[in-house]
Amino acid sequence: MSKTRCLILLLGFMSGWSAARAQDVVLVANKGVQISAISPADLRAIFLGAKTRFADGFHALPVVLRGGPAQEVFLKNYLGESPQEFRLRWQKAVFTGQGAMPKTCDSEAALIEYVAATPGAIGYVSRISPQDNVKTLVPYK
C-alpha cells in the first residue's frame, strides 16, 4: 500500500472519529441530584414520561432543547427516536391526559440555566464550561 493511500485512510479514520466525538452530548443535572451515573433504560424512561424519579428516589424533571444538532443526537442515541417521533409521542400523551410535555428551552445556555436553578432537572447539551452550575451525569450500560 502506498504512503499516500495510508495517509488518506488514516485521515479518513481520524476525521470520522472526531465527527463521532462531536456527535456526543453531555447529560447535565441539577447539582442537588444525588446520582452521578444513569442507565440508558432510566434515562429513556425519564425522558419518555414512564418514570418521574431517579434511581435514588429523587424527583426527575426532564428538560429538552427545541431543536438543533444536540437534540437530534440525544434523541437518536439515547431514546432511539427522531425529533418527530418524540414530539408525536408527547403530543399523544398530552392529548390523552397521560402526561405533560417536558420543559423546552430555545438554547443550550437557557437549558443549563434552567437545570442549574431547578431541583431534579436533567437535560443535555453539546458541551459545558467550568462556570456552568450543573453536574454531569455519566450514562452506563
CATH of the domain at 29: 3.40.190.10
> Is position 125 within any domain?
yes
Q: What is the mean pLDDT of residues 20-43?
A: 87
Q: Of the given ranges (1-5, 90-94, 101-105, 112-116), which has the lowest mean pLDDT?
A: 1-5
> Is position 7 within any domain?
no
124 φ, ψ (degrees, to nearest 5):
-150, 150
At residue 141 the predicted structure's pLDDT band, cuts being 50, 70 and 90, is confident
Structurally, how many domains does the chain consist of? Answer: 1
Residue 100 has what pLDDT? 86
> Is position 132 within any domain?
yes
At residue 21 the predicted structure's pLDDT band, cuts being 50, 70 and 90, is very low
- Closest residue by Cα to residue 105 from 137, 50, 138, 67: 67
> Is position 127 within any domain?
yes
> Is position 8 within any domain?
no
Report field, pTM of the whole predicted structure over 0.85? no
Range of the domain at 113: 23-139
